[in-house]
Amino acid sequence: MKCYLWICILLLLYSECTSTYFTQTSYELWCQENVVYSSSFVYPSSRIGIQRQRPQQQVQYSIVEQTDYQKLFTVKSKRLGDFYFLILNITRPLEINREYQQIYTIKVRAHITFLPTDIATDEAEIQIRIADANDNDPVFDIDYYRQNITLNTSSENQKSLPLLKFHASDADEIENAQILYEISERLEDLSLHPLTGDLYLLNEKIKKKTYEFSVLAYDRGRKRDNTNTKTQVKLEFIQQQTWIRNETRENATILYTNETIFYEAINDLNVSVHQYKNWNYLNSYRPLLYVEGQTVENSELFIIEPSSHDIKFYIENLNIYIDRPTTRDLILKLEDYRLILLLCVQNRNQCQKFFYRLTSFIDPPSLKFLIKDKIILNENVPINTYVTKIDLTEDNNEFEFKYKLIGEDDLQISKFYIEQTTGVIRTAELLDAEKYQSFQLDIQIDLKLKLKKYSIIKTIEIIIQDQNDHRPKFLTTQTNIKFEDMYQFKAVDDDINKETNGRISYMIRSDEKDNFPFIIDSMNGTLTMIKTPRKEDYYFDVVVFDWGQPISLEDVLLIHLHVVQYDRRQRRDIQSSFRPKLKLFYTRRWKKKYRQYNISTMSSNSSESLINFSTVPMTIMTSTSSPSSLTTIEMNLGFHYSSNIIIFHIDENLPFESFVGHLNIYHNTNEQLITNNSYLSSIFFNLHLFYFVIDSNEINLPPFSISDDGTIFNIGKIDREQRSLYEFYVELKLKQMYTLKIQQILNMELFNIIFKYEKKIKVQIYVEDTNDNSPQCDHLHSMINVDENKIQTNIFKMNGYDPDRGENGTIIYSFLSISNNFNINNQTGQLDLIKPFDWKQKESLNLIYIILSDQGQSIQQQTLCTLHVNIVRSNNNVPQFVYQNISLTHYEFDVWEDMPKHAVFGQIIANDLDDNSTLLYSLEPNPYVYISSTLGYLKLHRNLYLSVDQTFNISLTVQDERSLSNRTYILIHVLRVNKSSNPLLINEPAYSLVINESLPVGSVITNILKRVQNGGSVTVNVDHIEILDENTTNTNKTTINNNNMFQVDKQGKIVYFLIG
């Protein structure tokens, strides 16, 4: 019996689709470039095509709108069971090339026929992505390399920098484009990096002058034996002359030790001195300078005369350290510090002299200063009044600045002065706003560093604010007036502010009240008649006053007015023609107030506000009267403290203009402000009558200032270590405007003020210590000699000091890291050697860092001091294997399976701590790796493709010149290179097969995979099996639940496994 068997093979389970159209609107397929088979694709997990819904249904596929590249493809329909599969074929497979095009997109149309008259269509889009095939060889940029190389045996950079760089490119992708480089022959002195193509010199003592060899390039997707890419190389080495000798011998005196060296001068050592840019005052335990360039073994560096020697230097391992300066100006000397250095070789027989000048640690023009662009200052402030201070935005104690005022206008500069060292600007003369409304001050800031001088110019503007320090004055002194039509009084006020202090108004004072027939215009002083006078002579006062704040000043003119007689008609004409047009505020009520016998004051800052009058009557003192003696004013105020000394406590290092304390002017509220003048008392109540003046007997004024409200603040640096107590006096002085007011009221120039309480008080400011100083040690760098294998006590004592007080100045000594060899007394700084040294520990223990810590509670300051330990060694040590200065028992290396032969994959390093003799390395005979006998470089004999996932154990021996040897072993692990998965290509998405009923078990039916990943494992499962018997009229479909009846092996072959 013969059956038709449809087998649907899917890599993933599919979901049932009951639609009569495409299962998806778009599909994605993968195709291998340069594919041999015309229909080999990576099909998606979902089936491409249309589900069969009716028995009469037919489906045909076609490509819509074929373009040139779409003609590469054809489609056809294949029914299998109840599904019409879309089969895609390539017409010209060899034209599919990923390097030219990576994606093809085609549209497919389905013609679905149910009945002759029932036809439907559907369209879907198919994206075909092209997978890379390793079909390109690498190509070198240059076919032939030739290089002349000057060999400098003393240069350390010769081995660290590549001699040549080879480069090849490959048009493929992923591992097919990863290039490996290989030297064609074994070269002991050269090494080629397999990935970068850099060629390095391993040994400066080359065995021959000319090297000619080939370099191969191949990608990781193919074996080395299949490469056709090669380039030729020729290197010629030129040996540089080591020394240029002079005929004469010279001598030099070493600084600090006064030891004299006699040497032969050389001049071709290519060395240079560099300064660490991150060195500063706080990390001065680090090297300041270092020597770089052509240095050889056992080189020695000295600082010789006549170098400047006011700063002590320390040299170790060609690094130059500086001991911590004790004063700030020593750091300035570093700017122009001239060093004469001597580098000696061959046991000081040959030396080369060179010079170095230290550079500044900052860029002075980049310094930023804290300065106010505009300052407002009241006129008539006392001399020495604090104006402002020029200071750095960041505290920098390492430099001293000089300040001075510059400019062409000497008159302006004479009004101020600046303290040269602090930058505090004060007034030098009284300031008058009527003469100068503003000043433009240019400040020059000088920073001198030895021979170099830097100057920075800053500009500030000072605005002088007008005060009411001038009384209005009548321009005429005429008091006897003949009045006919009108009369105008004229007065002026010298104050510059014409809105308040310099604005004047006029008024009349008269005893006649309602019967007074005259009125004066308050704005222009015009006197006019408003009613018929009843007499010929009138006596009254004309008052001119300003609108000053907080008080008003005035001037009085005693007038005798004689009225010239007119007839009634004339007077009526006068009244009608010359009556002024009064402003809105001249109401009857206002005119009535003019006749009151009172003194005027201002109560508003507005220029449109009305004039109010005080309700306190006073006795008018005429201008002709004068006091018989000096008038005394008793003021019931002053400084009222338990003693004539007030004490404040502040912390040092206060920020600029910080609050220090406040001085209060005491006034008993139960008493009048002024005992013998209630009118003055009422005017001056709640006004700031006084300013404060600091009086000191010292040459320089203290770094404090006081505002008008009695607040004391600092205007300079406060350092307790420089000064812990400031004493000065503060005195009360009456402001100019109130002096003028008293003179006006008393009508006298001189008067005496008596204070009920103290007018002058002594201020004491104590500066409290803060932990602002780090502990210091005598020398940042000290050196001691320690004998090997010997215990010593009290071998060194670290002396520290801290200028702070109490706990802030108490020093505790400790190690930066735990020391197994030393012990330090944390109170005294005494150092003991408790465990003997072995000279082989030199590299890790030649520097001991000691921390000096104070015991500050809020902030703890620390300093790190360095102790250089010189271990005096014994002899007879066996060479030791090390890796990054750590002793090893064995070495392990990982090597990729495709690493080229002769490539360096590691280095063996051993130390002989007794001396610097040459060490020789050797390996036991093996076919895999070899070692450079003097340098310890490990290289491959051959490729390790056939040894993947294996580990080799190879014995290693190192021997010194005294035949003392040490032995270990090397473990080499061969690692597999993980390559990307190749696409799984299937010839067709569906198969219709005919098999005989008696097919033997194990028979191969067909092969569905055209390509399987090399060495990989592909798992394909049978998802669904249906058997259709077509011998009958109606197709019978039988589903088989046993999917193991057929199996697919790893090579893609379908095998009949079990009879169903």
Question: DSSP string spanning 448-467?
Answer: EETTEEEEEEEEEEEEEEP-
Please say whether the beta carbons of 941 and 927 come within 8 A: yes
- 61: exposed, middle or buried (Cβ count in 10 Å: 0-12, 13-18, 19+): buried
Confidence (pLDDT) at 667: 86
DSSP state of 780: S
Work out whether strand 452-465 and strand 374-378 pair parallel, antiparallel, or are unpaired. parallel
Structure tokens belonging to residue 25: 């609107």
Alpha-carbon gap, residue 502 to 467, rounded angstroms: 10
Alpha-carbon gap, residue 504 to 492, rounded angstroms: 7
Confidence (pLDDT) at 239: 64
Tell whether omega for the bond before 550 is within 30 degrees of 0, i.e. cis. Answer: yes
Q: Cα separations (Å) of 198 from 164, 818, 937, 1040? A: 6, 43, 16, 64
Residue 236 phi/psi, 5-degree rounding, is -120, 120
Q: Which residue has the higher pLDDT, 527 or 3?
A: 527
Confidence (pLDDT) at 619: 32
Alpha-carbon gap, residue 735 to 548, rounded angstroms: 14
Confidence (pLDDT) at 130: 86
Of 223-232, 235-244, 423-432, 883-892, minimum mean pLDDT range: 235-244
Confidence (pLDDT) at 297: 65
Sheet strands side by side (includes 338-345): 245-253, 260-266, 350-357, 338-345, 300-303
Rg of the chain on CA atoms, in Å: 53
Of 8-22, 469-483, 919-933, 971-985, minimum mean pLDDT range: 8-22
Q: Does residue 589 carry a pLDDT above 80?
A: no
Alpha-carbon gap, residue 211 to 184, rounded angstroms: 12
pLDDT band at 332 (very low <50, low <70, confident <90, very high): very low
Contacts 24+ apart (CB under 8 A), 667-674: 667/636, 667/637, 668/636, 671/636, 672/636, 673/635, 673/636, 673/637, 674/633, 674/634, 674/635, 674/636
Please say whether the beta carbons of 556 and 623 come within 8 A: yes
Contacts of 478 (CB under 8 A, 6+ apart): none
Confidence (pLDDT) at 980: 66
Mark out the alpha helices in 86-178 (DSSP H runs).
Answer: 157-160
Structure tokens belonging to residue 874: 């014994």
Alpha-carbon gap, residue 897 to 948, rounded angstroms: 6
Name the nearest CA neighbour of 623 among 525, 504, 749.
749
Q: Does residue 780 carry a pLDDT above 90?
A: no
- The strand pairing partners of 440, in sequence order, are 461
Of 746-760, 866-880, 949-963, minimum mean pLDDT range: 866-880
Structure tokens belonging to residue 367: 């310094």
> What residue spans in the chain does CATH classification 2.60.40.60 cover?
2-134+986-1056, 139-220+222-239, 364-465, 473-613, 631-765, 776-872, 880-975
Alpha-carbon gap, residue 42 to 40, rounded angstroms: 7
Q: Does residue 614 carry a pLDDT above 70?
A: no
CATH number of 2-134+986-1056: 2.60.40.60
Please say whether the beta carbons of 941 and 929 come within 8 A: yes
Q: What is the mean pLDDT of residues 413-419?
A: 88
Other beta carbons within 10 angstroms of residue 168's beta carbon come to 21
Confidence (pLDDT) at 493: 92
Best CATH choice for the domain 880-975 from the list 2.60.40.60, 3.30.70.600, 3.50.50.60, 3.40.605.10 = 2.60.40.60
Contacts of 643 (CB under 8 A, 6+ apart): none
Q: Does residue 1 carry a pLDDT above 70?
A: no
Contacts 24+ apart (CB under 8 A), 591-599: 591/519, 592/514, 594/507, 594/508, 594/519, 595/508, 595/510, 595/512, 595/513, 595/514, 595/516, 596/513, 597/509, 597/511, 599/554, 599/679
Q: Cα separations (Å) of 138 from 168, 171, 176? A: 6, 8, 9
Identity (one letter) of the amino acid at 393? T
Q: Cα separations (Å) of 477 from 75, 184, 539, 590, 624? A: 125, 121, 16, 28, 12
Q: What is the mean pLDDT of residues 890-915?
A: 85
Please say whether the beta carbons of 601 and 500 come within 8 A: no
Alpha-carbon gap, residue 881 to 890, rounded angstroms: 8
- The strand pairing partners of 155, in sequence order, are none
Share the mean pLDDT of the chain.
78
Q: Which residue has the higher pLDDT, 737 or 281?
A: 737
Confidence (pLDDT) at 582: 40
Confidence (pLDDT) at 1032: 43
Q: What is the mean pLDDT of residues 932-947?
A: 86
- Range 139-220+222-239 classified under CATH 3.30.565.10: no
**3-state DSSP assignment of residue 919:** coil
Length of the chain: 1060
Angle, vertex CA 932, rays to CA 926 and CA 936, nearest 5: 105
Alpha-carbon gap, residue 884 to 86, rounded angstroms: 64
Angle, vertex CA 564, rays to CA 559 and CA 567, nearest 5: 145
Q: What is the pLDDT of residues 105-121, one digit of tens each?
A: 889 999 988 877 778 88
Q: Does residue 170 carry a pLDDT above 80?
A: yes
**3-state DSSP assignment of residue 559:** strand
Instruction: Say what percent of the chain tops pLDDT 90.
Output: 14
Alpha-carbon gap, residue 891 to 881, rounded angstroms: 9
Of 481-490, 836-845, 1011-1020, minimum mean pLDDT range: 1011-1020
Query: What SS3 string covers 131-149?
Result: ECCCCCCCEECCCEEEEEE
- The strand pairing partners of 782, in sequence order, are 867
Q: What is the mean pLDDT of residues 345-369?
A: 72
Instruction: Say what percent of the chain tops pLDDT 70.
Output: 75
Alpha-carbon 22 to chain mean position: 61
Alpha-carbon 308 to chain mean position: 37
Structure tokens belonging to residue 23: 């299962």
Q: Does residue 544 carry a pLDDT above 90?
A: yes
Strands (E), 685-829: 690-695, 704-706, 711-714, 725-734, 751-755, 760-768, 776-777, 781-787, 792-797, 800-801, 811-815, 822-824
Alpha-carbon gap, residue 628 to 3, rounded angstroms: 152
Confidence (pLDDT) at 697: 85
How does DSSP assign 672-721, residue by residue?
A: -SBTT-HHHHHHHTTS--EEEEEE-SSSSPPSEEE-TTSEEEE-S---TT
Element (H, E) at 746: helix 736-746
Name the nearest CA neighbour of 244 among 294, 298, 204, 319.
294
Alpha-carbon gap, residue 680 to 632, rounded angstroms: 13
Of 220-224, 258-262, 585-589, 743-747, minimum mean pLDDT range: 585-589
Q: What is the mean pLDDT of residues 860-880?
A: 79
Q: What is the pLDDT of residues 66-112, one digit of tens each?
A: 666 667 888 888 888 788 888 888 888 888 888 888 888 889 999 98
CATH number of 631-765: 2.60.40.60
Please say whether the beta carbons of 528 and 571 come within 8 A: no
Best CATH choice for the domain 364-465 from the list 2.60.40.60, 2.120.10.30, 3.20.20.70, 3.40.50.2000 = 2.60.40.60
Q: What is the mean pLDDT of residues 529-534?
A: 87
Q: What is the mean pLDDT of residues 321-343?
A: 59
Which letter, b or e, does each residue of 89-101 get, where b requires 16 or more Cβ atoms within 10 Å of its Cβ? bbeebeebebeee
Alpha-carbon gap, residue 679 to 742, rounded angstroms: 11
Please say whether the beta carbons of 884 and 909 come within 8 A: no
Name the nearest CA neighbour of 95 among 68, 125, 62.
68
Numbers of helices and strands, H then E, in the chain: 8, 84
Structure tokens belonging to residue 768: 């409290």
Alpha-carbon gap, residue 1035 to 780, rounded angstroms: 102
Contacts of 573 (CB under 8 A, 6+ apart): none
| CATH fold group of domain 776-872 | Immunoglobulin-like (2.60.40)
Mark out the alpha helices in 166-205 (DSSP H runs).
Answer: none
At the second CATH level, the architecture of 473-613 is: Sandwich (2.60)
Residue 733 phi/psi, 5-degree rounding, is -135, 140
Q: Does residue 663 carry a pLDDT above 90?
A: yes
Structure tokens belonging to residue 595: 């006749």
Confidence (pLDDT) at 17: 42
Q: Does residue 626 carry a pLDDT above 50?
A: no
